[in-house]
Amino acid sequence: MSIRDIYNGVMEFDEDTVASEVKKEVDAGTDLDSILNEGLIAAMDEVGAKFSEGDLFVPEMLMAAQAMKAGLNIVKPLLVDTDTKPSGKVVIGTVKGDLHDIGKNLVAMMMEGAGFEVIDLGVDVDPETFIAKAKEVSADVICMSALLTTTMPSMEATVKAIKEAGLPFKTMVGGAPVTKAFSDTIGADGYSDDAPGAVELARKLIAAEGSKGNTMIVVGELINASRKAVGGYIEEKNAEEIQKLAKEQYEAGATFIDVNAGIFVGKEPEYLTWLTETVQAAVDAPCSIDSPDPKAIEAALAVHKGTAMINSISLERERYDVLLPLVAGTDLKVVALCMSDDGMPETSEERLAIADKLVNGLVSNGVKVENIFVDPLVQPLSTRSDFGVEFLKAVEGIHKAFPGIHTMCGLSNISYGLPARKLMNQTFAVMAIAKGLDGLIINPLDERMMAQITAAEALAGRDNFCMKYLKAYRAKKLEV
């Protein structure tokens, strides 16, 4: 009884042996990652290599995939209760007008065998369906197959729709009539002529994009009623100006668009709902719903599309008690502000103590660690010379104490009361990123700030092969 027996069972196309040996290992308490990576995935990687070398043929690859699946069906339900994450999420289908699925099915099985979460849409899939499902599941890659030359234009239409909408999904194409030249012409991110190659391509595309968990989350801060002009737009319900701000921030790199109507006492639920609908009608981005009022947040959530961010909960008892029920057991992103009824923390130790209570309280109420963004609270350097250092120590400490957590802040307060504020803010952002900060509430139209963030992420090891840095350079976004 060993993981090697699982590996051998896949290589021998023996579904019964694989299922039996996987069950034995599970019952014996063997680590699920080992069963998956050293047994099932390792065997399918070998199958793919042998196919590429001409030592195995399509029927044998299909039988190996079926044997692998017999083991995967046992392991998969158990992975839900662990920290094991898929290699990536792939949405796959045969394009509009094409009903052929043998090649697509083979790629899907190989992908699943390689540890990817595969969402198979079947055949005759139009561009809108590919994109809608990819958004729904937050896919990394959209994989399109075609056997008929007459259906290949649907691939181009899908790639074009993704690019025009500025969506982050990588695109792969394949099938008998498809070539690399065609893939390059339509602007797809990659092409493979067989299933093992598709697996390797997906791995490379996801690796080049960098780990999502380490990518800076930028919350665009400009749609805030406390800004005089914006307050006027909201009161007038001037959709054109609000949408202009939303588009400008989104195109500049904002991940979330913050919406705030806090100055309108008594009307905040109405205005916050209108802002949410207006912003999402203009950009395909989630909102950061910025309010301490649970009624206003609830109203905005009722019309929000996708997963919103709540900005913010704190340890202040009144605020904590009314907002916790809204986020408990949901997939909402939550900004957890390090503030309590004892006031604003001054030292890193005080920040960590509040963060500990906030994070544990949220997690015990069904909020996933990866959905929590701890804000250690930036305070003005002009009032105390160690406020910058204490914040940075807190960021580093929070990431060490809570693996998988995010940290976020609105950093402009650091320069309050000082000259050349932009210089101070930009420098502080770079220093914070070096300590692990991965979320910023900022003005994304500040081109130098965005360029500094791109460079800082590369220097902090959060940009594989500096691909994002190079992309920004080629787009002339570093020339500031």
22 and 100 both lie in a single domain = no
For 381-405, how does the pLDDT look when each residue is reduced to its tens digit (9 = 90+)? Answer: 999 999 999 999 999 999 999 988 9
pLDDT at 8 over 80: yes
- The pLDDT, as a whole number, for residue 210 is 42
Report residue 305 CA to chain centroid gap: 16
Find the angle CA(392)-CA(339)-CA(290) to the nearest 5 degrees. 95
Tokens linked to 480: 């500031």
- The pLDDT, as a whole number, for residue 7 is 92
Residues 80-84, mean pLDDT to the nearest whole number = 56
- 8 Å CB contact between 130 and 90: no
> Rounded to the nearest 5°, which phi and psi values hold at 91?
-100, 125
pLDDT at 471 over 80: no
27 contact partners, CB below 8 Å, separation of at least 6: none
Distance CA 418, CA 414 (A): 9
Among 180, 209, 238, identify where a domain stops.
209
283 and 149 both lie in a single domain = no
Residues 111-129, mean pLDDT to the nearest whole number = 91
Element (H, E) at 65: helix 58-79
pLDDT at 335 over 90: yes
- The pLDDT, as a whole number, for residue 464 is 67
Tokens linked to 89: 């999420």
Distance CA 172, CA 116 (A): 15
- The pLDDT, as a whole number, for residue 209 is 52
Asked, for residue 136, whether it belongs to a domain, the answer is yes
203 and 229 both lie in a single domain = no
Per-residue pLDDT band at 85 (split at 50, 70, 90) = low
For position 24, which CATH number holds?
1.10.1240.10
Among 83, 116, 137, identify where a domain stops.
83
For 177-233, how does the pLDDT look when each residue is reduced to its tens digit (9 = 90+)? Answer: 999 899 989 989 889 988 888 888 888 777 655 434 347 899 999 999 999 999 999
194 and 229 both lie in a single domain = no
Distance CA 117, CA 110 (A): 11
For position 195, which CATH number holds?
3.40.50.280
- 8 Å CB contact between 22 and 74: yes
164 and 240 both lie in a single domain = no
- The pLDDT, as a whole number, for residue 284 is 79
- The pLDDT, as a whole number, for residue 82 is 56
- The pLDDT, as a whole number, for residue 288 is 97
224 and 198 both lie in a single domain = no
By C-alpha distance, which of 295, 278, 234 is closest to 287? Answer: 278
Per-residue pLDDT band at 346 (split at 50, 70, 90) = very high
Asked, for residue 479, whether it belongs to a domain, the answer is no
- The pLDDT, as a whole number, for residue 20 is 92
Asked, for residue 304, whether it belongs to a domain, the answer is yes
pLDDT at 476 over 80: yes
122 contact partners, CB below 8 Å, separation of at least 6: 93, 94, 101
Out of 44-53, 137-146, 287-296, least confident range:
44-53
- The pLDDT, as a whole number, for residue 395 is 97
By C-alpha distance, which of 271, 295, 167, 165 is closest to 223? Answer: 271
Q: How many domains does the chain have?
A: 3
Among 191, 209, 227, identify where a domain stops.
209
Amino acid at 271: Y
Asked, for residue 346, whether it belongs to a domain, the answer is yes
Average pLDDT, the chain: 90
110 and 237 both lie in a single domain = no
Distance CA 385, CA 375 (A): 20
Asked, for residue 128, whether it belongs to a domain, the answer is yes
- The pLDDT, as a whole number, for residue 241 is 97
94 and 13 both lie in a single domain = no
For 230-273, how does the pLDDT look when each residue is reduced to its tens digit (9 = 90+)? Answer: 999 999 999 999 999 999 999 898 999 999 999 999 999 999 99
164 and 247 both lie in a single domain = no
Q: Which structural domain, as residue segments, surrounds residue 176? A: 85-209
Distance CA 12, CA 25 (A): 19
Residues 36-40, mean pLDDT to the nearest whole number = 84
100 and 146 both lie in a single domain = yes
Using the Cα atoms of residue 312, residue 315, residue 320 and residue 324 in order, give the sign of their dihedral.
Answer: positive
- 8 Å CB contact between 294 and 323: yes
For position 233, which CATH number holds?
3.20.20.20
363 and 451 both lie in a single domain = yes
Of how many residues is the chain composed? 480
Cα radius of gyration (the chain) = 25
357 and 370 both lie in a single domain = yes
Distance CA 366, CA 327 (A): 8
- The pLDDT, as a whole number, for residue 213 is 39
Per-residue pLDDT band at 96 (split at 50, 70, 90) = very high
Asked, for residue 480, whether it belongs to a domain, the answer is no
Per-residue pLDDT band at 355 (split at 50, 70, 90) = very high
- 8 Å CB contact between 355 and 336: yes
